[in-house]
Amino acid sequence: MTNSIEVKDLTLNFGAISVLKNMNLDVAEGEFVVLLGPSGCGKSTLLNCLAGLLEITDGQIFIKGKNVTWAEPNERGIGMVFQSYALYPQMTVRGNLSFGLKNAKVPRAEIEAKVARAAEILQIGPLLDRKPAALSGGQRQRVAIGRALVRDVDVFLFDEPLSNLDAKLRSELRVEIKRLHAQLKNTMVYVTHDQIEALTLADRIAVMRGGIIQQLAAPQEIYNRPANLFVAGFIGSPS
């Protein structure tokens, strides 16, 4: 079986500082992998390398068996959802959802169908004519997810999508993301520093520290048999 994502001996240096150190990671097709670790451990950097937003220092990245190490972001078949919603403020929700497709010269009827489907899945139909400023944080994040959804990508990358939301919305949207994954069955790599989020969402968790994966295993395995004291302490003490 082809892995959806394969990271081989990836090293990323910022100047003299090695932020990712000879990292290896395989993500199976349809798998939900959470990158969990404290602030500064390299989670976002790894995600940005997968997305093609950072040039890696050494190693290789494969997506669906294709070597994309030097491919442009839009050639990688991935959709990325950031912590800050990154919506276009001057456009309506509909405009935000269709912008990328218009640029890619997708026929209008097809754009409308894709936007309608995303709106239905994410329950944002009534918001399509609003601008981002008139949305709540949770609604904006749904739109941000919708922008990845309309592109029919196989791989979703999430960078702390819930960390700007209050506790109630966070747990609601967490359930939503889990449902979305069950429905779409796409591959997801999800960055968080929140242990609860990781334990509830992940098929497997990669616990990171200092640019190194300390343990990569199912939540139960990590919880019951942490590989070292760092993993035990980090999983055992929710922030």
Going across the sheet that includes 58-63, the strands are: 17-28, 3-14, 58-63, 66-67
Q: Please report whether residue 42 would count as binding ligand ADP according to CB under 6 A.
A: yes
Residue 83 interacts with ligand ADP (CB under 6 A)?
no
Enter the DSSP assignment of 160: S
Alpha helices by DSSP H, 52-187? 93-103, 108-122, 137-149, 167-184
State which H helix or E strand residue 162 sits in. Answer: none
Give the sheet arrangement for strand 187-192, strand by strand. 78-81, 155-159, 187-192, 32-36, 204-209, 212-217
Decide: is 41 part of the binding site for ligand ADP (CB under 6 A).
yes
Least distance to ligand ADP from the beta carbon of 18, Å? 9
Nearer CB in complex with Mg ion: 44/98: 44
146 interface partner picked from Mg ion, ligand ADP, none, CB below 5 to 8 A per type: none
SS3 of 29, please? Answer: coil
Instruction: Tell the smallest beta-carbon distance from residue 149 to ligand ADP (Å).
Output: 24
Shortest distance in whole angstroms from residue 43 CB to Mg ion: 5
Surface-to-core class of residue 38, CB atoms within 10 Å of its CB (0-12 exposed, 13-18 middle, 19+ buried): middle
Q: Applying CB under 5 A, which part among 43-51, 119-127, 209-217, 229-237 lies near Mg ion?
A: 43-51
Q: Which stretch binds ligand ADP (CB under 6 A): 40-48, 78-86, 88-96, 180-188?
A: 40-48
Closest C-alpha among 134, 143, 141 to residue 94: 143
Euclidean distance between CA atoms 159 and 94, whole angstroms? 23
Q: Is 44 in the site for Mg ion (CB under 5 A)?
A: yes
The only residue of 4, 25, 33, 44 in contact with ligand ADP, by rule CB under 6 A? 44
Pick from 1, 16, 39, 229 the residue near ligand ADP by CB under 6 A. 39
Minimum distance of ligand ADP from residue 161's CB (angstroms): 13
Q: Is 40 in the site for ligand ADP (CB under 6 A)?
A: yes
Binding site for ligand ADP (CB under 6 A): 14, 19, 37, 39-45
